[in-house]
């Protein structure tokens, strides 16, 4: 029976009952009246009673109709207004605003003929999609509540259970919708097509909002869509459901940190969060800013006043136990993710799980191509992206990369561990071999002999990659591959990955003490090339860790070895040279690097030749031959440009610019450094970017741009400080001394010098202690305290002379000569100034030579040797144009380097 038939039946029953009651009442009343009163009076009273009874019946009928109408309206309102209460939406104002704009724009129903299909539909279809727990339903229901007045004919809600064990069928969902629209159950069409047609017919002339929550797939949703212009459908799903809506789906991403804190505060209590905002922020990060995780943690905190934020943070720190903490009452992140994970293809689950166990980092198609999936990388990635377990980032120019939420990664890694051991082994063997192939093929760009170890196809496949960039990005996973290879008894592969990694030591950051393990040659390794490369890698790491004697012991070049590979021996010479440089013995370092460069010129080893020339230039500069240094570094830069290695080019432009600074050609140096810093940013190489900013600050200082120099030093420290690079922080601090003094801020410069000296004492760098002592001595001279300047300058001279750093030693001697002059100790002043002049005249140091000569002339005039002073001034002006530009210079007043 239809709803109208039910109402009519109830009304008729009431009327019949009322009529019967009235008749009986009238009969009884009439008998009573005629028995008591005379006939005329009785007739009048009988008519009045009849009228009263009729009125009573009429009243009963009207009242029954009103009550029934109220019941019908109330029932209709319940059926057609189905939006449940919803959690308040915290943050997401931008997303909500865009959704409200779409949904409030409701055109009038056309009431015309129905469109043929969904593609011609006039209804507004909006898909809100995103990862599990990101807040799609909360967003959608909040929006629906705010726009419900725009849909007076009703707001219907259906949970399609796409995130449940058994998603609702289209037929079941249509049954719910049609019953809500007053269709009697007996009038429901049996098939989906019939139900869809009836839905579209009934809603064509209505302003109706339908919320389809947790949609599973496109086929489930398509039959549920009305086509009338006054209807809107708001769909939530973990998939974008392409093809359902004519407009692009609305993605729901993670809230930012501020919004995440607001979500946590909403559930835990704002006072609780504001009491310790730093710990609260750490909790949001452990939750990956995922709203579901924040709601669970916040609810736990609200339930447990005794549970401090610090204790909650501690319970979340171990990522292996984190998912166990993210459960509260009916909410479970693990269960939520499992409902999506179980629907993945088996090969996708295996590939995703293995990748999830790797150290965190950038993911690309390469990773999915080599984890053993038979379906192919693109199919695997597409499936993971479609269900919002992974996000695609980047563009065609920069290349596509993928991001996996930390909590999803932890979940996938846990599921991977549940797979059979043999299956895991097969996937891991394949990935280890892929890392071996990639590392060796990229290393062959630097060590040509490795080209024979991999196929030409593999080498060409990776040519498009920056070798240093790829290895730097994958360094933690390469270390994982070495360890995993050993666990899988793949010792040759482990050694070969280590050998390949050894050619990128300047591009990666090795954990302290890890080299002996990474570059260990097992007793079963017998290949001479591999053994020599691994030994050289351990020696290089020892130099980097401040243990040059260990490196020199590993590479004992004094023992003759006629069978040694000449190229390998040249590479050993390079490491030995760096070892002696670390010991501050630049004379021996220069000899070894010169030998290495000469041997490498006769080989087909461009990479090591350019590296030897780069270092050779540095040693030549330190030994007082900057013009030779420029030649070596320009040759190295040409080789780097020929190889196309952007990182090497940027590094060499920085090194060459420093040499040009020594040669007092800052105008040429500045653009080289600015270009290098740009490239380091492109390469995301923060350490070298900081080194470039430090060098550019020095060049700007030489150009008199002191404020620009200070800004570059500040930016360099902002990079090095968080990295824990105390040595570089010390160098940057030292560089500020002359800038501050040049600005007349001597007290601040002196305090800065003390800070720099303390930093170098902490890291044990004797050479930079000497450089800072030299600057402290200069500050004493500038403050008129020449007696106090002698001791720190003497210490600087002793250290630099032991190291063979002729240039640094000459600078210290020049300043001590000025101090002796101010003290009237003229013979000692002459001795220091002449010693400095000898070094400067042996190289292309015209600026330094001119500066020292001015101070020699001042000593001569102070001694009353005017004729000698005039003669020296005349010959210097004729031979060195820079001397004329410095007329009147006084070493006790001038800022070194800035004239």
pLDDT tens digit sequence for 201-236: 898 888 899 999 989 888 999 999 988 888 899 999
> What pLDDT score does 385 carry?
85
- For residue 166, what are its two tokens? 């058994």
Q: State the pLDDT confidence band at 71, using cuts at 50, 70 and 90.
A: very low
Alpha helices in 358-400 (DSSP H): 365-369, 377-386
pLDDT, one tens digit per residue, over 278-327 is: 999 999 988 888 888 898 999 999 888 888 899 999 989 888 888 888 88
Q: What average pLDDT does range 753-762 have in this prediction?
A: 95
Closest alpha carbon to 565 in 594, 604, 612, 519: 604
- Whether the pLDDT of residue 459 is over 80: the answer is no
For 741-774, the DSSP string reads HHTT-HHHHHHHHHHHHHHHHHHT-HHHHHHHHH
Instruction: Express as a percent the part of the chain with pLDDT over 90.
Output: 45
> What pLDDT score does 335 carry?
84
Gap between the Cα atoms of 173 and 534, Å rounded: 66
- For residue 593, what are its two tokens? 């690097």
Gap between the Cα atoms of 302 and 322, Å rounded: 19
Closest alpha carbon to 245 in 224, 260, 264: 224
> What pLDDT score does 157 carry?
93
Q: Which residues of 509-523 are buried (b: 16+ CB within 10 A; e: fewer)?
A: ebeeeebeebbebee
Which residues contact residue 590 at a Cβ distance below 8 angstroms, ignoring those fewer than 6 apart? Answer: 577, 616, 619, 620, 623
CB 735 within 8 A of CB 695: no
pLDDT, one tens digit per residue, over 492-531 is: 999 999 999 999 998 888 888 899 999 998 888 889 999 9
pLDDT, one tens digit per residue, over 576-595 is: 999 999 888 888 999 999 99
CB 182 within 8 A of CB 207: no
Q: State the pLDDT confidence band at 70, using cuts at 50, 70 and 90.
A: very low
Q: Count of alpha carbons within 13 Å of 533, Cβ hemisphere only? A: 25
pLDDT, one tens digit per residue, over 644-672 is: 888 889 999 999 999 999 888 999 999 99
Q: State the pLDDT confidence band at 34, using cuts at 50, 70 and 90.
A: very low
Which residues contact residue 768 at a Cβ distance below 8 angstroms, ignoring those fewer than 6 apart? Answer: 727, 730, 731, 734, 756, 760
Length, in residues, of the chain: 899
* 265 alpha-carbon distance from chain centroid: 25
pLDDT, one tens digit per residue, over 526-569 is: 899 999 999 999 999 999 998 999 999 999 876 656 556 899 99
The SS3 call for residue 392 is: strand
pLDDT, one tens digit per residue, over 761-788 is: 999 899 999 999 999 999 999 999 999 9
Gap between the Cα atoms of 259 and 94, Å rounded: 12
Closest alpha carbon to 389 in 346, 344, 424, 347: 344
- Whether the pLDDT of residue 486 is over 80: the answer is yes
- Whether the pLDDT of residue 643 is over 60: the answer is yes
The crossing angle, in degrees rounded to 10, of helices 726-742 and 706-723 is 160
CB 427 within 8 A of CB 350: yes
pLDDT, one tens digit per residue, over 781-816 is: 999 999 999 999 999 999 998 888 888 899 999 999
Q: State the pLDDT confidence band at 899, using cuts at 50, 70 and 90.
A: low
pLDDT, one tens digit per residue, over 375-417 is: 677 888 888 888 888 888 876 555 678 888 888 899 999 999 9
């Amino acid at each position: 029976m239809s709803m109208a038939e039910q109402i009519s039946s109830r009304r008729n029953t009431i009327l019949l009952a009322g009529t019967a009651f009235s008749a009986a009442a009238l009969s009884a009343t009439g008998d009573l009246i005629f028995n008591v009163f005379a006939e005329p009076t009785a007739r009048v009273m009988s008519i009045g009673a009849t009228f009263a009874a009729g009125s009573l019946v009429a009243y009963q009928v009207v009242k029954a109709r009103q009550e029934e109408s109220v019941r019908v309206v109330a029932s209709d309102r319940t059926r057609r207004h189905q939006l449940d209460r919803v959690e308040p939406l915290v943050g997401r104002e931008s997303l909500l605003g865009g959704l409200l704009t779409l949904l409030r724009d409701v055109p009038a129903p056309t009431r015309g003929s129905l469109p043929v299909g969904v593609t011609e539909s006039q209804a507004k279809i909006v898909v809100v999609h995103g990862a599990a727990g990101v807040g799609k339903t909360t967003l959608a229901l909040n929006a629906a509540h705010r726009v419900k007045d725009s849909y007076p004919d009703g707001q219907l809600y259906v949970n399609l259970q796409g995130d449940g064990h058994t998603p609702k069928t289209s037929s079941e969902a249509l049954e719910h919708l049609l019953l809500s629209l007053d269709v009697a159950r007996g009038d429901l069409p049996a098939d989906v097509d019939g139900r869809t047609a009836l839905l579209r017919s009934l809603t064509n002339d209505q302003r109706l909002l339908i919320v389809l929550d947790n949609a599973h797939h496109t086929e489930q949703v398509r039959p549920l869509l009305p086509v009338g212009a006054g209807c809107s459908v708001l769909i939530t799903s973990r998939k974008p459901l392409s093809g359902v809506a004519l407009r692009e789906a609305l993605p729901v991403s993670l809230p930012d940190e501020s919004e995440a804190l607001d979500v946590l505060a909403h559930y835990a209590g704002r006072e609780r969060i504001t009491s310790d905002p730093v710990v609260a922020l750490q909790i949001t990060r452990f939750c990956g800013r995922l709203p579901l995780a924040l709601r669970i943690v916040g609810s736990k905190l609200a339930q447990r006043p005794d549970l401090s934020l610090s204790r909650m943070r501690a319970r979340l720190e171990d990522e292996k136990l984190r998912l166990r903490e993210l459960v509260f009452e009916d909410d479970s992140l693990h269960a939520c993710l499992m409902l999506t994970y179980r629907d993945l293809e088996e090969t996708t689950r295996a590939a995703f799980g293995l990748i999830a166990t790797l150290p965190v980092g950038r993911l690309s198609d390469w990773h999915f191509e080599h984890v053993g999936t038979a379906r192919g990388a693109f199919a695997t990635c597409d499936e993971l992206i479609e269900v919002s377990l992974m996000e695609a980032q980047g563009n065609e120019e920069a290349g596509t990369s993928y991001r996996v939420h930390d909590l999803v990664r932890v979940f996938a890694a846990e599921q991977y561990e549940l797979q059979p051991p043999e299956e895991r082994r097969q996937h891991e063997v394949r990935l280890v071999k892929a890392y071996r192939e990639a590392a060796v093929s990229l290393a062959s760009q630097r060590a040509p002999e490795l080209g024979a170890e991999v196929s030409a196809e593999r080498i060409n496949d990776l040519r498009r990659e920056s070798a240093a960039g790829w290895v730097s990005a994958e360094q933690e996973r390469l270390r994982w591959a070495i360890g995993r290879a050993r666990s899988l008894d793949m010792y040759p592969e482990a050694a070969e990955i280590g050998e390949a990694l050894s050619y990128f030591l300047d591009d990666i950051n090795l954990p302290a003490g890890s080299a002996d393990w990474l570059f260990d040659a097992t007793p079963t390794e017998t290949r001479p090339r591999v053994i020599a490369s691994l030994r050289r890698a351990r020696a290089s790491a020892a130099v980097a860790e401040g243990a040059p004697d260990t490196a020199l012991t590993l590479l004992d070049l004094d023992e003759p070895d006629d069978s040694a590979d000449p190229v390998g021996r040249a590479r050993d010479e390079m490491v030995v040279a760096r070892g002696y440089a670390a010991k501050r013995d630049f004379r021996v370092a220069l000899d070894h690097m010169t030998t290495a460069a000469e041997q490498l010129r006769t080989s087909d080893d461009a990479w090591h030749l350019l590296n030897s020339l780069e270092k050779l230039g540095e040693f030549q500069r330190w030994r007082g031959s900057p013009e030779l240094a420029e030649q070596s570094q320009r040759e190295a830069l040409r080789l780097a440009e020929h190889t196309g290695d952007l990182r090497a080019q940027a590094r060499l432009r920085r090194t060459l610019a420093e040499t040009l600074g020594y040669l007092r050609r800052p105008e040429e140096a500045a653009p080289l450094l600015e270009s290098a810093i740009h490239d380091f940013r492109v390469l995301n190489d923060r350490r070298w970017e900081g080194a470039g900013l430090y060098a550019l600050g020095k060049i700007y200082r030489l150009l008199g741009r002191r404020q620009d120099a200070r800004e570059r030093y500040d930016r360099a420290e902002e990079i090095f400080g968080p990295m824990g690079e105390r040595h570089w922080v010390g160098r940057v601090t030292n560089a500020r001394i002359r800038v501050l003094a040049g600005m007349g801020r001597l007290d601040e410069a002196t305090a800065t010098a003390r800070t720099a000296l303390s930093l170098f004492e902490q890291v044990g760098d004797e050479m930079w202690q000497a450089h800072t002592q030299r600057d402290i001595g200069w500050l004493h001279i500038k403050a008129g305290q020449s007696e106090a300047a002698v001791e720190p300058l003497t210490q600087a001279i002793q250290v630099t002379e032991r190291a063979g750093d002729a240039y640094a030693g000459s600078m210290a001697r020049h300043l001590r000569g000025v101090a002796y002059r101010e003290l009237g100790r003229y013979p000692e002043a002459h001795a220091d100034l002449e010693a400095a002049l000898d070094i400067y005249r042996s190289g292309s140091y015209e600026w330094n030579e001119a500066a020292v000569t001015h101070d020699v002339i001042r000593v001569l005039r102070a001694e009353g040797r005017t004729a000698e002073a005039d003669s020296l001034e005349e010959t210097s002006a004729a031979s060195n144009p820079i001397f004329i530009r410095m007329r009147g210079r006084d070493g006790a007043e001038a800022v070194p380097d800035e004239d």
